[in-house]
A and B are shown apart, each in its own frame.
Chain A
Amino acid sequence: MPERVSEHRRLAVLGGVYANAEALAAVLADARRRDAEAVFCLGDLGGFGAHPDRVFPLLRQHGVRVVRGNYDEAVATAAADCNCGYTDPRDNHYARISYAYTVAHTSAANRAWLATLPGHLRIALGPHRVLMCHGSPRRINEFLWESTTPDGLLRRLLAAHAADVLLCTHTGLKWRRALNGGAAHAVNVGAVGRPENDGTPDVWYALLTAEPELEVEFVSVAYDHEAAARAVEAEGLPPEFAETLRTGWWTTCLENLPARERARGRF
């Protein structure tokens, strides 16, 4: 039986909440102001931030549909590690701290809810067949960076999954690309829980509209990042996490960045 899909004209899509309830609340309010009919989250609710459990009521209150991220999959079962896909010792050092904290501060009820999340979602956005996933359609923790994701790979993934539009996150950096003369699209929606490694503390999400041609608008949102940073410090999490929230520059979990993306940041 074919999968039933919901139909939409204007969507807000966000990723990488990273336990940053302050940023999530600001993004959801912004999406509502901009007349998004529905809000989707591409996963990774925990990590880095101070209050993992404060994210869940916000998502429910706003009716956000959530795709499972690698973090959600791991936290749901209190697995041995976050399966973020890091290979560098320094990245793994900070990932371990962040993951242990998140598991310890996520309630059993919320962990059970994480276990129910789907690995992908399909919707119709006007005439466009949209596939939403966390890392890539083939692997939950694959990093689809702009500078290491070839057109040929995207075309193959779209064809293999019978989709015109691929939406993903996992990297924390947004980008978009039109393919096949504008008939197909790939969009990494970035993250709302961590700034863009661009020297500003604002966070980003994506608004997608079927006009009926697909329009993709990345929206930056200012929020009370100082409150989020203070909460990180109050919980005894690494000061580097708070520094990133305040300055907008990534300080940890950046050794896996490709050269192009790494060159843009301060560290």
Chain B
Amino acid sequence: MADVAAAPRAPFVALSALWLVLTGTLCNLRCTHCLNASGPDEPWLPPLDAAVARRALGEAEALGVREVYFTGGEPFLHREILPLLEASLSMAATTVLTNGTVMTEALADALARLAHGSRYSLEIRVSLDAAAAEANDRVRGRGTWERATRTLRWLDARGLLPIVTATEIVEGAATYDRFRALLSALGIAKPRVKILPVFPVGRAVGAPGVRLTDADLDGFDRSTLPCAETRVVAADGVYACPILAGLPGARLSDGALAAALGPAALYHAACVTCHRTGATCRNA
């Protein structure tokens, strides 16, 4: 592990985004570059207890949180996702990051009811890795493109306007255009696409790479980093970054959100990517 103590810090500015790692690393898929090495085996990061999730939502509301994100793993595998979504949507706009392969029409109906009954937006981010089925399924598993695109159509038909999130495995603006074209071809009138860079973490981790230093950040406004306004609640503690959740060096507290509002160590190779690309984990 890189030297956490010596790493530069990002200040804590405000709790704008609360992330709940709802299913830990439990997922029905085993994507080749998964950011937190999720999969169907015994998860290395356990699912979040619903009571812990509710407590975090309450704490976050009191702290003036702006929006909430549910992630995993695959969050729709959590037994209590619908009541937790209802609780979250009663206080803030909420986004679910899903692989789109465990959706049913009944679940899509339930999501639509929640969305239309809330004053705040419900966003569903569906992950794909390529606009074409074969290339996507090489990364995400056989049949995943078919199931995820079916989910996109179901959500769109219910007015939920899903966002496709894709990783820019091959760099270039063409990735964005290809996904917009895919969504249009699926009959989706308002194509929404979010492209993320590849982060060297999880199954995509490479050889020990470079780390940020204070010299790298000279003249850079660290308060613009997502971790200055993000806190992530997982089963084993609170973190500043959703893709570093579960990593001991990134842990800020063992439980309480209020105890995790200090500076965050920019110790990981993924911090270099965030700094270099200006990427945001938020929807926009």
| A interface residues, Cβ below 8 angstroms from B | 86-90, 138, 143, 145-153, 155-157, 255-256, 258-263, 267
B192 contacts A262, C-beta separation under 8 Å: yes
Q: Chain A: which residue is nearest B176 at the CB level?
A: A89
Closest to A261 in B: B121
Interface flag for B236 (CB, 8 Å): no
What are 30 A-to-B residue pairs whose CB atoms are below 8 Å? A88-B284, A89-B176, A90-B176, A143-B284, A147-B119, A147-B120, A148-B66, A148-B67, A148-B120, A148-B121, A150-B61, A150-B66, A150-B91, A150-B92, A150-B120, A152-B61, A152-B62, A152-B63, A152-B65, A152-B91, A152-B92, A153-B66, A155-B64, A255-B192, A256-B284, A258-B121, A258-B123, A259-B161, A262-B161, A267-B189
Q: Closest chain A residue to B280 by CB distance?
A: A87
Binary per-residue interface labels of chain B (101-123) against chain A in the complex, 1 for a CB within 8 Å, 0 otherwise: 00000000000000100011111
A153 proximity list for chain B (CB < 8 A): 64-66, 92
Contact, CB under 8 Å: A138 / B123: no
Contact of B93 among A138, A258, A262 (CB under 8 A): A258
Residue of B nearest to A87 (CB): B284
Residues of A within 8 A of B66 (CB): 148-150, 153
| Min distance, Cβ A144 to any Cβ of chain B, angstroms | 9
Number of interface residues of B (CB under 8 A): 32
**Which residues 113-170 in B have Cβ within 8 Å of A in the complex?**
115, 119-123, 159-161
Known: A87-B280, A148-B92, A259-B115. 6 other contacts (CB 8 A): A87-B284, A88-B194, A255-B284, A258-B93, A259-B123, A267-B190
Contacting residues, chain B, for A263 (C-beta < 8 A): 159, 161, 190
A148, A157, A259: the one within 8 Å of B64 (CB): A157
* Interface contact tally, CB-CB below 8 A: 75
What 1/0 flags go to B165-204 for Cβ under 8 Å of A? 0000000010010001000000001101111000000000
Whether B122 and A150, one on each chain, are in contact in the complex, defined by CB atoms closer than 8 angstroms, is no
Measured CB to CB, the nearest residue on chain B to A257 is: B284
A146 to B93, CA, bound (A): 10
Within 8 A of A (CB), among B56-75: 61-67
Closest 5 CB pairs of A and B: A156-B64, A258-B121, A147-B121, A148-B93, A256-B284
What's the nearest-Cβ distance from chain B to residue A87, in Å?
5
Query: Chain B: which residue is nearest A146 at the CB level?
Result: B119
**Chain B neighbourhood of A145, CB < 8 A:** 121
The interface residues of chain B, by DSSP majority, are classed as loop
Q: Chain A at the B interface: mostly helix, strand, loop or mixed? A: helix
Q: Is B14 interfacial (CB 8 A cutoff)? A: yes
Residues of B within 8 A of A89 (CB): 173, 176, 195
Min CB gap A222→B, angstroms? 28
Which B residues lie within 8 Å of A256 (CB)? 284
> By the criterion CB–CB under 8 Å, are A259 and B91 in contact?
no
Query: A259 is contacted by which of B14, B160, B280 (Cβ under 8 Å)?
Result: B160
A138 to B93, CA, bound (A): 19
Chain A residue with Cβ nearest B67: A148
Name the distance in Å between A4's Cβ and chain B's nearest Cβ: 29
* Neighbouring A residues of B160 by C-beta, 8 Å: 259
A87 vs B180: C-alpha distance when bound (angstroms)? 15
User: For residue A93, which residue of chain B has the nearest CB?
Assistant: B173
Q: State A89–B190 Cα separation when bound (angstroms).
A: 15
B191: nearest residue on chain A (CB-CB)?
Answer: A255
Considering residues B93, B160, B176, B189, which has the most beta carbons from chain A within 10 angstroms of its beta carbon? B93
**Which residues in B have their C-beta under 8 angstroms from that of A149?**
66
State how many angstroms separate the Cβ of A213 from the closest Cβ of chain B: 23
B residues near A267, Cβ cutoff 8 Å: 189-190
User: Distance in Å from the Cβ of A259 to the closest Cβ of chain B?
Assistant: 5
Known interface pairs A255-B284, A259-B161, A260-B121; A147-B14 also in contact (CB < 8 Å) = no
